[in-house]
Amino acid sequence: MMPLVLLDYSSTLVFALTGALVASRAQLDVVGFAFLAGLTGLGGGTLRDLLLDRTPIWIADPTYLAVVTGAAVLVFFTAHLIESRLKAIYWLDALALGIAVAAGSGVAQRMGMPAEVVLVMGIATGCAGGLARDVVANEVPLVLKQGELYVTCALAGSLATVVADTLGAPPALTAALAAVVTIGLRAGSLALGWKLPVYRPRPPRSR
Amino acid sequence: MMPLVLLDYSSTLVFALTGALVASRAQLDVVGFAFLAGLTGLGGGTLRDLLLDRTPIWIADPTYLAVVTGAAVLVFFTAHLIESRLKAIYWLDALALGIAVAAGSGVAQRMGMPAEVVLVMGIATGCAGGLARDVVANEVPLVLKQGELYVTCALAGSLATVVADTLGAPPALTAALAAVVTIGLRAGSLALGWKLPVYRPRPPRSR
Amino acid sequence: MMPLVLLDYSSTLVFALTGALVASRAQLDVVGFAFLAGLTGLGGGTLRDLLLDRTPIWIADPTYLAVVTGAAVLVFFTAHLIESRLKAIYWLDALALGIAVAAGSGVAQRMGMPAEVVLVMGIATGCAGGLARDVVANEVPLVLKQGELYVTCALAGSLATVVADTLGAPPALTAALAAVVTIGLRAGSLALGWKLPVYRPRPPRSR
């Protein structure tokens, strides 16, 4: 149990930082920071818990609310020290995505869900908070940015959970693998431009 | 039971095709196609199931996930053959709307919900997937397009479910009626411009 | 129990009026009015009920659906009599916000939730309907308007619920206090420009 709870705390914290940074770009007040931090930090886990008929994490354990509030206050008073807030959002989001994918797929795995559901739960937990943040703040959703890997990273990380668990890896190793695969792919996309072929109106071989 | 499950499969498939077509317009990669296909194909049914405290269809039966993935892959490789993807989206969406309205109102009816709840459940199941697709992809939501019938079609189809069931029609006939009424009205709006009077700042008879 | 149900009815009605007024600005037909009225009027309470694992208010009691439909029809035929619909939206939204905050925090309080959860439930119930309305209608969400108090008002109102209840106030007084605090702060922000300091790229004392 322990590792999954730690993953939920960590992804909540890091996603909350990205929400607060988006709030700083929209020049909100500190309560607005906390609102976007909470939406981003808790959105994915809450969706997962509603879908799996569990009590949402922050209702079962209000410590999560202290985490997002702390993250919001921290960013409100220190964001001006960050050189590029946009860059910070991208990289923190990558980190949070990996942790959340591990948490989401891990919980579904532990509940004995079939592999397909584990994959989707990893993707949904990883992507929902950031998607809500971007839709509410009217930014282009990261999940839909053309020519970048995003959902693909979440899918690969969830797949790592399924494979590692099938091979009998202990939960902590499984979670670490899922996070590393997700973050590694996303980092490769951000830093090195890794991508999959995108749809083009005419297929490559037709002239 | 059979007919309602078939309706859920069919509306999932056809809505997934529209999501993938929207992904093609945004020039995403194949995983992005699957993401939008899943959101569109499963959004309405998932909302209905959460509201009615049922297990979401795709958790109870992961076949749905194969359906949306298949639809996404199919569209990724064949969308270039379609002359007008926008037209295809509109007409497939009309078809999916009708099937989903029949599925949503049918499930609520079978659970013994009061008529008003049946109506809303038909509308919610029919409209939520496409609405999520349009909000996430930043398109003007079809439900809000001025001068077109959309929610009205879903309402009429759900009303057909209530009336047919009250008159003792067998489930398969009830579902067919709901779908035909919804699709017929929507087709009339798309092809013939059928619409209801829209709100105008000054009432028609003044001056 | 009585006061909380009355609060749910009232906030549903007033939020529905704002949804219908937004529909009038988008020049929709009467069914579009009802759709936005329902989304706005029932969104916050439905989210609260899903999070707290309760039956959504309008499924348990379909009277709510009559309330939003009535509000939509009323606005459809009388909105042209209103001088400034935008102003009407702002002030009715402030009123609905206060009532919904009292309803949301009150229900959570009565369920014995910890104080932090009561605060979040007041905010979520108060803000979700209007947020859904603004996102779907593609307006700038009121919760994110720069230089205005909005989430802060909901937070203060929920805090009033926690404090009043701790001091042993009867439920009706607690609810009244929560609503008055929320509406008072929001009115001060709308009419007198009350606000909190917003984030600025450089801190005030630098330079």
pLDDT digits (tens, 9 = 90+) for B49-71: 999 999 999 999 999 999 999 99
Per-residue pLDDT of chain B (207 residues; tens, 9 = 90+): 557 899 999 999 999 999 999 999 999 999 999 999 999 999 999 999 999 999 999 999 999 999 999 999 999 999 999 999 999 999 999 999 999 999 999 999 999 999 999 999 999 999 999 999 999 998 889 988 888 999 999 999 999 999 999 999 999 999 999 999 999 999 999 999 999 999 987 655 544
B83 phi and psi, to 5 degrees? -70, -55
Token pair belonging to C98:
């206060």
Yes or no, beta carbons of C58 and B117 under 8 Å apart: yes
Q: List the domain boundaries for chain A.
A: 1-192
pLDDT of residue A206: 47
**Largest pairwise CA distance in chain B:** 60
Task: Find, among A14, B144, A104, the residue nearest to C36 by Cα.
Answer: B144
Yes or no, beta carbons of B28 and A146 under 8 Å apart: yes
Interface membership of A84 toward C (CB under 8 Å): no
Residue C206 has pLDDT above 80, yes or no: no
Interface membership of C86 toward B (CB under 8 Å): no
Ranking A92-96, C130-134, C153-157, C200-204 by mean pLDDT, the lowest is: C200-204
Yes or no, beta carbons of B27 and A198 under 8 Å apart: yes
Q: Could you give the ipTM of this predicted complex?
A: 0.93
CB B37 within 8 A of CB B16: yes
Nearest CA in chain A to C121: A59
Token pair belonging to C154:
């909901």
Measure the CA–CA gap between A13 and A70, rounded to whole angstroms: 9
Residue C68 has pLDDT above 90, yes or no: yes
Yes or no, beta carbons of B27 and A114 under 8 Å apart: no
Interface membership of A112 toward B (CB under 8 Å): no
Per-residue pLDDT of chain A (207 residues; tens, 9 = 90+): 557 899 999 999 999 999 999 999 999 999 999 999 999 999 999 999 999 999 999 999 999 999 999 999 999 999 999 999 999 999 999 999 999 999 999 999 999 999 999 999 999 999 999 999 999 998 889 988 888 999 999 999 999 999 999 999 999 999 999 999 999 999 999 999 999 999 987 655 544
Measure the CA–CA gap between C1 and C171, rounded to whole angstroms: 9
Token pair belonging to C11:
């906030």
Yes or no, beta carbons of B26 and A123 under 8 Å apart: no
pLDDT of residue C3: 75
Measure the CA–CA gap between C21 and C26, rounded to whole angstroms: 9
Measure the CA–CA gap between A148 and A186, rounded to whole angstroms: 8
Minimum distance, in Å, between the CA of residue B109 and any CA atom of chain C: 13
Yes or no, beta carbons of A120 and B58 under 8 Å apart: yes
pLDDT of residue A207: 43
In this complex, which of B46, B66, B136 lies closest to A131 when CB atoms are compared? B136
Token pair belonging to B126:
């029919």
Measure the CA–CA gap between B15 and B96, rounded to whole angstroms: 5
Which residues fall within 8 angstroms of residue C31, CB to CB, at 6 or more apart? B149, B151, B152, B155, B196
Token pair belonging to C201:
């790229």
Measure the CA–CA gap between B46 and B52, rounded to whole angstroms: 10
Yes or no, beta carbons of C32 and B141 under 8 Å apart: no
Which of B199, B200, B206 has the highest number of chain C CBs within 10 A, making it the mutation to test binding with C? B199
Express as a percent the part of chain A with pLDDT over 90.
90
pLDDT of residue C11: 97
Mean pLDDT (chain C) is: 94
CB C161 within 8 A of CB C99: no
In this complex, which of A28, A62, A65 lies closest to C144 when CB atoms are compared? A28
Which of B27, B35, B85 has the highest number of chain A CBs within 10 A, making it the mutation to test binding with A? B35
Which of A50, A54, A199 has the highest number of chain B CBs within 10 A, making it the mutation to test binding with B? A199
- Give the Cβ contact number of residue C111 at 10 Å: 14
Measure the CA–CA gap between A165 and A108, rounded to whole angstroms: 12
pLDDT of residue A137: 92
Instruction: Decide: pTM greater than 0.90.
Output: yes
For the segment C1-23, the average pLDDT, to the nearest whole number, is 91
**Half-sphere exposure at residue A161, Cβ-oriented, CA atoms within 13 angstroms:** 36
CB A111 within 8 A of CB B59: no
